[in-house]
Chains A and B, each alone.
Chain A
Amino acid sequence: GEDVEQSLFLSVREGDSSVINCTYTDSSSTYLYWYKQEPGAGLQLLTYIFSNMDMKQDQRLTVLLNKKDKHLSLRIADTQTGDSAIYFCASHKDTGRRALTFGSGTRLQVQP
């Protein structure tokens, strides 16, 4: 089945850019997502990209998709302390149950 992998931890200084990386195994994954989880909170949908796209930008967020390497990244520009959270990469196919397969999450720590 699908497997999604992420690095566990990233620390950046306030104002710097953060880049969170994700790899997935199933080349038929057609929808790829980034969710944010703050302590004690649910999963907040940040952004998503379809596999027919290479890049998507939404304000401070830029998602890059390299289908050949099955690699997805989330870049947060001008990172703020409020961006400190766990970021989950997730994917699903366009058919069947469309249930999401999640990575383990990357904990982003923003230092002032």
Chain B
Amino acid sequence: EPEVTQTPSHQVTQMGQEVILRCVPISNHLYFYWYRQILGQKVEFLVSFYNNEISEKSEIFDDQFSVERPDGSNFTLKIRSTKLEDSAMYFCASRDKVQYFGAGTRLSVL
């Protein structure tokens, strides 16, 4: 069964460093998403991406965040200068009719 793949499963970084979280969506899907889940809180929408551009973003997705589809398979989330409060699980999803999620990347900012 096709699945969304995320790497790495756990990323540890120092505050102020840049991180790139990677996702390989399901191959025939055209819509891609990033969500995050801070420990003990709800899963929150960050950004949606279609046709090589951002289609919508939440108020969380500020200038320190960016997304890119650098080739035909990868979809990345970059955090330019990480803060302690960026520590969370980050989920990638892709959609045909419904959204399928990856296993997530746990980001720990020290």
Q: CA of A43 to CA of B91 in the docked complex: distance in angstroms?
A: 8
Q: Do residues B101 and A43 form an inter-chain contact, with CB atoms below 8 A?
A: yes
Q: Encode contact with B along A39-65: 1 for CB under 8 Å, 0 otherwise.
A: 001111100100000000000000000
Judge whether A88 is part of the interface by a CB distance below 8 angstroms: yes
Judge whether A24 is part of the interface by a CB distance below 8 angstroms: no
Q: CA of A44 to CA of B91 in the docked complex: distance in angstroms?
A: 12
Give the shortest distance, in Å, between A53 (CB) and chain B (any CB).
Answer: 14
Q: Do residues B102 and A42 form an inter-chain contact, with CB atoms below 8 A?
A: yes
Q: CA of A102 to CA of B58 in the docked complex: distance in angstroms?
A: 14
Q: CA of A105 to CA of B38 in the docked complex: distance in angstroms?
A: 13
**Which of B33, B42, B48, B104 makes the CB contact (< 8 A) with A42?**
B104
Q: Please tell me the size bucket of the interface on A.
A: 20 to 34
Q: Do residues A98 and B31 form an inter-chain contact, with CB atoms below 8 A?
A: yes
Q: Considering only CB atoms and an 8 Å cut-off, how many residues of chain B contact the other chain?
A: 24
Q: Which of A57-112 contact B (CB under 8 A)?
A: 88, 90, 96-105
**Which of B98, B102, B103 makes the CB contact (< 8 A) with A48?**
B98
- Mostly, the B contact residues are strand
Chain B contacts of A97 at CB under 8 A? 45, 48, 55-56
Q: CA of A101 to CA of B31 in the docked complex: distance in angstroms?
A: 17
Give the shortest distance, in Å, between A24 (CB) and chain B (any CB).
Answer: 13
Q: Do residues B56 and A99 form an inter-chain contact, with CB atoms below 8 A?
A: yes
Assuming A35-B101, A88-B43, is B91 touching A42 (CB within 8 A)?
Answer: yes
Judge whether B100 is part of the interface by a CB distance below 8 angstroms: yes
Q: A42-B103, A99-B33, A100-B99 are in contact. List 4 more A-B contacts (CB 8 A).
A: A45-B99, A97-B55, A98-B95, A104-B41
The 9 closest A-B pairs by CB, nearest first: A97-B56, A42-B103, A43-B101, A99-B45, A102-B43, A97-B48, A42-B101, A42-B104, A102-B42
Residue numbers of B with Cβ under 8 A of A are 4, 6, 31, 33, 35, 41-45, 48, 55-56, 58, 91, 93, 95, 98-104
